[in-house]
Amino acid sequence: MAAKKGSYKVAYEGLEKIFDELREGKIEIDELEERLKKALEYIKTCKDILKKQETKVTDILKEIKEEEKD
């Protein structure tokens, strides 16, 4: 399952699945590198989306403060 660009839920669920598989010992050594690279991709997607959302929320809060001043 590939993370679609901009899909936090898909990336997060993919990361959870890999984490669970690692924890349960379901990932064979031969596929470990590939799964870890996929996990890194999911992490980057989540971080990018969270950073964008943080910026949007900060902008909205600034706008609210400006409205309160008026």
Q: pLDDT digit of tens for each residue in the chain (70 aa)?
A: 444 566 999 999 999 999 999 999 999 999 999 999 999 999 999 999 999 999 999 999 999 999 988 7
Q: Which token pair is 31?
A: 């596929």
Domain count, the chain: 1
Residue span of the structural domain in which 60 resides: 8-69
Which is nearest to 18 in space by CA: 4, 5, 31? Answer: 31
Q: In Å, what is the CA distance from 36 to each residue of 9, 10, 27, 48?
A: 19, 16, 10, 18
Residue 15 DSSP SS3:
helix
Q: Is residue 3 part of a domain?
A: no
The pTM (predicted TM-score) of the whole model is: 0.79
Residue 69 DSSP SS3:
helix
Q: Is residue 24 part of a domain?
A: yes
